[in-house]
Amino acid sequence: MNIMIVEDQRDLSELIAGRLKVAGFKTETAFDGEEALDLISSDLHDLVILDRGLPDMEGLEVLKELRDHNIKIPVLVLTAKDGLGDRIEGLNSGADDYLVKPFEIDELIARIHALLRRPSSAIDVVLKFGNIAFEPCENILKINDINAEISVKEKDALERLIRLPNKVVSKDALQSSIYGLGDEGSHNSVEVIIHRLRKKLDEANSDVEIKTLRGIGYMMKIK
Domain boundary among 72, 91, 117: 117
pLDDT of 180: 54
Contact 43, 166 (CB under 8 A): no
Distance CA 162, CA 95 (A): 24
Backbone CA torsion sign across 132, 138, 139, 145: negative
191 lies in a domain?
A: yes
Give yes or no for a cis peptide into 102 (omega within 30° of 0): yes
Contact 8, 31 (CB under 8 A): yes
- Domain residues for the domain of 96 are 2-117
Distance CA 166, CA 218 (A): 9
pLDDT of 81: 74
Strand blocks (E) in the chain? 2-6, 26-30, 47-51, 75-79, 97-100, 127-129, 132-135, 140-143, 146-148, 168-170, 208-213, 217-222
pLDDT of 184: 61
Domain boundary among 117, 150, 183: 117
141 closest CA partner among 192, 154, 81, 223: 154
pLDDT of 70: 84
Q: From first to last of its 223 residues, what are the pLDDT tens digits of the chain?
A: 789 999 999 999 999 999 998 888 889 999 999 999 999 987 778 899 999 999 999 999 999 999 888 888 899 999 887 666 676 777 777 888 888 888 999 999 998 988 887 654 444 567 889 999 998 767 789 999 999 988 888 988 898 899 888 988 888 878 877 775 445 667 788 999 999 999 999 999 999 999 999 888 999 999 9
10 and 97 housed in the same domain: yes
Using alpha carbons, list the distances in angstroms from residue 202 to 148, 199, 207: 12, 5, 8
153 and 190 housed in the same domain: yes
Distance CA 161, CA 164 (A): 5
32 and 106 housed in the same domain: yes
Q: What is the pTM of this model?
A: 0.59
Distance CA 42, CA 140 (A): 23
pLDDT of 188: 84
The count of structural domains within the chain is 2
CATH number of the domain to which 97 belongs: 3.40.50.2300
122 lies in a domain?
A: no
**DSSP SS3 for 126:** coil
Strand blocks (E) in 20-120? 26-30, 47-51, 75-79, 97-100
Edge-first strand order for the sheet with 168-170 is: 168-170, 217-222, 208-213
